[in-house]
Each structure stands twice: as structure tokens, then as C-alpha cells.
Amino acid sequence: MNETLIKLAVSAGFVVFMIVVAGLARIARPVAPLDESTARALLAAEFPDRTPDLMWIAGDGAGAVGRAGAEALVVYRLGDSWVARTMPWTLALRAPVKRGRVLLKLRDPAAPMARLVVSGVNPWPPQQSEEALAA
């Protein structure tokens, strides 16, 4: 038992050391804030069979929501990567805004919630253009 505890303690020490080294190295992927074209490219890769007719970009560029038919295509940044999910558009429209973030419940134990920054320029729910409304 003692031997096992010592092994675990040594492993934990090594883990801390490696995390520090990884942090100091700063070799994560560079990720630029999303704009409409990059958000569309990202959604096209994640949802190749769906094309959003309306796009909303989070205030800090760390997420986006596209409307494709009755679905909201949601993407948000995690570290230097991205997480994507869908949810009903009608539910997305009703999502609450708290402390400057819209809280999108994704109903998935693997990714329960997207918290996207809302700004004065990009309020939630999205302001639909006349063209988008017509569509």
C-alpha cells in the first residue's frame, strides 16, 4: 500500500512538472477571433450538410450561432479548439442573457452549456436583417 501511495505521489509530482513545462512553452494553436467568414467556414466543416442563412458572432469572437432551418448551429471556443452542437432555433432565441453572456442549453452531458459573450453591437437574440427575415 505504501509503495502504491509513493508511486502515485511521484506520478503527481511529474504531472505538475509537465503541466508547468507545457504552460511555459506556449505552443498552443493560435486562434483568431471569429468573424462572419471564419465562423461560416467553421460551421461548414462541423455541419457540412447544413448552410446557415443567418449568423450571429459572439462579442469576443469566441463563438457563433448560425440558423439553418429550424436548427441553431452553435460553435464555441475551448482552449485553442472549438466545440460544436445543434439545438432548436426557437429554444436558442429564448435563451437567457446573464452577466453579459447568452446561456445556450445544449442538452448534452458532454457539453451542457454554451456561454457566449453578448455585446451592444451583437445583442441576443440576433437582430435579423430584412433579407434574412424574408428568407
Partner 1 sequence: MILDPLKPAFNPVDLAVPLFVVTIVAEIVLGRLRKARVVYEVKDTATSLLMGIGSQIAGLLTLGLVGAVTFWAYEHRLFTLPMNAWWAWVAVFFLEDLTYYWFHRLSHERRFWWASHVNHHTSQHYNLATALRQTWTGGIAGTWLLWIPLIFLGFPPAMVAIQKGVSLVYQYWIHTEAIRKMPRWFEAVFNTPSHHRVHHARNPRYLDSNYAGILIIWDRMFGTYIPELDEEPCRYGVVHNLGDFNIFRVAFHEWMAIGKDLAGSRSIREVGGYLFGPPGWSPDGSRDTSATLKAKWRAREATTVSPSAAAETVPLQAAE
User: CB of residue 113 vs partner 1: minimum separation in angstroms?
Assistant: 7
Residues contacting residue 63 through CB under 8 Å, at least 6 positions apart: 34, 57, 74, 75, 76, 77, 114, 116, 117
Which three three-digit cell numbers place residue 41?
A: 467556414
* Residue 27 binds partner 1 (CB under 8 A): yes
Per the CB < 8 A criterion, the answer to whether 36 and 53 are in contact is no
User: CB of residue 69 vs partner 1: minimum separation in angstroms?
Assistant: 14
Query: Looking up cell 511529474, which residue turns up?
Result: 14
- 80-117 b/e with 16+ CB inside 10 Å = b? eebbbbbbebeebeebeeeeebbebebeeeeeeebbbb
* Residue 7 binds partner 1 (CB under 8 A): yes
Site for partner 1, residues 54 to 83, rule: CB under 8 A: 76, 78-83
Q: Which stretch binds partner 1 (CB under 8 A): 30-38, 65-73, 94-102, 124-132?
A: 30-38
User: CB of residue 104 vs partner 1: minimum separation in angstroms?
Assistant: 11
- Residues in contact with partner 1 by the rule CB under 8 A: 4, 7-8, 10-12, 14-15, 17-19, 21-23, 25-32, 34, 38, 41-42, 44-46, 48-49, 76, 78-85, 106, 108-114
